[in-house]
Amino acid sequence: MTKWGLRDLADRLLLDDTNAVETCVQFVEADTEGIWHGRARAMMCRRLKHCTLSALQRQRLVFCITERLRSGHFSEQFKDQLRLALHLNIQTTLSVALACRTDSRNYVRRYAEWILAHHSDTMNT
Rounded to an integer, what distance in angstroms lies between the CA atom of residue 49 and that of residue 24? 12
Task: Report whether pLDDT(124) > 60.
Answer: no
The closest of 100, 84, 95, 87 to 124, measured between CA atoms, is 95
Is the pLDDT confidence value at 122 over 70?
no
* Contact call for residues 65 and 44 (beta carbons, < 8 A): no
Average pLDDT of span 24-53: 95
pTM for the full model? 0.92
Here the contacts of 6-14 (C-beta below 8 Å, separation 24 or greater) are: 6/36, 6/37, 6/40, 6/43, 7/40, 7/43, 9/40, 9/44, 10/40, 10/43, 10/44, 10/47, 13/44, 13/47, 13/48, 13/50, 13/51, 14/47
pLDDT digit string (tens) for 62-96? 999 999 999 999 988 999 999 999 999 999 999 99
The total of structural domains in the chain comes to 1
**Mean pLDDT of the region 104-115:** 97
Helices (H), ranges, the chain: 3-13, 18-29, 37-48, 55-71, 78-88, 90-100, 106-119
Report residue 1's pLDDT band, with 50, 70 and 90 as the boundaries. Answer: confident
pLDDT score of 125: 47
Domain housing 92: 3-122
Per residue in 43-63, pLDDT (tens digit) is 999 999 999 999 999 999 999
Determine the Cα–Cα distance for residues 35 and 40; give it in Å rounded to an integer.
Answer: 9
The model's confidence at residue 19, banded by pLDDT at 50, 70 and 90, is very high
